[in-house]
Amino acid sequence: MWDYSDKVKEHFFSPRNAGALEGANGVGDVGSISCGDALRLMLKVDPESEVIQDASFQTFGCGSAIASSSALTEIIKGKTLDEALKVSNQDIADYLDGLPPEKMHCSVMGREALQAAVANYRGEVWSDDHEEGALVCKCFAVDAVLIEDTIRANKLTTVEEVTNYTKAGGSCAACHEGIEEILIKVLAETGVAFDPTATPAAVEVAPAQMNTLQRIRRIEQVIQAVRPQLQRDHGDIELVDVDGKTVYVNMIGACSGCQMESLTLNGIQQKLMEELGEFIRVVPTRAGSLTRAMGN
């Protein structure tokens, strides 16, 4: 069974704003019946102020799809359409204290339902360019279609390059065989044979305009941003060093040795990768691990 947060379970067992909405003037139907998740989002928008006065949903889907739908309606009620459109899928996941990687698409579906409903209210046609393939990398929720497209667009030839561009394969490595198979297939289209010994092209994936100082400052900002959240739980984090793609941090107080430590670090790693546009590994420093070992 999935490792759902208490918030996900709570929203699944007692969903908010479920059912048809009387007088809805914006409706978005998105999802894929073949994948087993689909959602209808209904909005009641005040034409004067464009404030979402009420929202409700109907969902055909799993526990996290229902919880994501419920969370979405709670988040957007009272917001103007423009404010609501700024809600990202990560916001929905954060509202639920996170979703398992395989389930992140539920939050994506919520965001897309919102876009579709707003487009419907405004009399626009919303079309979706998002194509989903079989999930290859379960650690970072990267699917086959994205990997194929990225290989083609950037002429990638090695697993390491695929990891740098898409994050796929950057954690547990269980999908490296799958990534190799995709590389073999895509490279064959251009008559190239996959060479497992090839060295990755020296590509700087991080935006070129960022120098080392800017990059470290950016990393510091991300770390600073998560501190208040950790401090609330009587913990803290500090940046120790940055060595290439590895960011060393020190987990302090309640965070050190916390059972959720790896979850916290994964979250920070994810945020850093999004912020810097490159693969980053967050490693707790030895000092932290030592305290942990002695604490136990």
Partner 1 sequence: METIYLDNNATTRVDPLVVDAMLPYFTEQFGNPSSLHSFGNRVGLALKKARMQVQALLGAAHDTEVIFTSCGTESDSTAILSALRAQPERREIITTVVEHPAILALCEHLEKEGYVIHRLKVDGKGRLDLDEYRGLLSERVAIVSVMWANNETGTYFPVKEMAELAHTAGVMFHTDAVQAVGKIPLELADSKIDMLSASGHKLHAPKGIGVLYLRRGSRFRPLLRGGHQERGRRAGTENSAAIVALGQAAEMALASMEHENTEVRRLRDKLEAGVLAQVSHAFVTGDPDNRLPNTANIAFEYIEGEAILLLLNKFGIAASSGSACTSGSLEPSHVMRAMGIPYTAAHGTVRFSLSRYTTEAEIDRVIEVVPQVVAQLRKLSPYWNDLGPVADPQQAFAPVYA
Binding residues for [2Fe-2S] cluster: 137, 139, 172, 175
Query: Measured between alpha carbons, how far apart are the two ends of the chain, in Å?
Result: 28
| 199 Cβ contact partners less than 8 Å away, ≥ 6 residues apart | 158
Q: Residue 93: how many CA atoms within 13 Å on its side-chain side?
A: 18
CA distance 245 to 166: 15
Smallest separation (angstroms) from partner 1 to the CB of 265: 23
Closest CA to 115 of 128, 106, 102: 128
Binding residues: 35, 62, 106, 137, 139, 172, 175
Smallest separation (angstroms) from partner 1 to the CB of 238: 36
Smallest separation (angstroms) from partner 1 to the CB of 137: 12
CA distance 111 to 115: 6
Nearer to partner 1, 22 or 48 (CB): 22
Active-site annotation holder among 13, 20, 35, 262: 35
Nearer to partner 1, 36 or 78 (CB): 36
> Is 35 a catalytic site residue?
yes
User: What are phi and psi for residue 89, nearest 5 degrees?
Assistant: -65, -30
Active-site annotation holder among 72, 106, 206, 265: 106
Binding residues for Fe cation: 35, 62, 106
Smallest separation (angstroms) from partner 1 to the CB of 16: 11
User: What are phi and psi for residue 53, nearest 5 degrees?
Assistant: -80, -35
Nearer to partner 1, 40 or 77 (CB): 40
User: In what side-by-side order are the strands of the sheet with 246-253?
Assistant: 235-243, 246-253, 281-284
User: Which tokens sit at 1?
Assistant: 């069974």
Nearer to partner 1, 2 or 241 (CB): 2
Nearer to partner 1, 71 or 108 (CB): 108
Q: Kindly list the residues in this chain that would bind partner 1 in the complex (CB under 8 A).
A: 1-2, 9, 12-13, 15, 18-19, 29-40, 57-63, 65-66, 102-103, 108-109, 112-113, 116, 126-128, 130-135, 138
> Is 255 a catalytic site residue?
no
| 31 Cβ contact partners less than 8 Å away, ≥ 6 residues apart | 37, 38, 39, 60, 61, 109, 113
Smallest separation (angstroms) from partner 1 to the CB of 90: 16
Catalytic residues: 35, 106
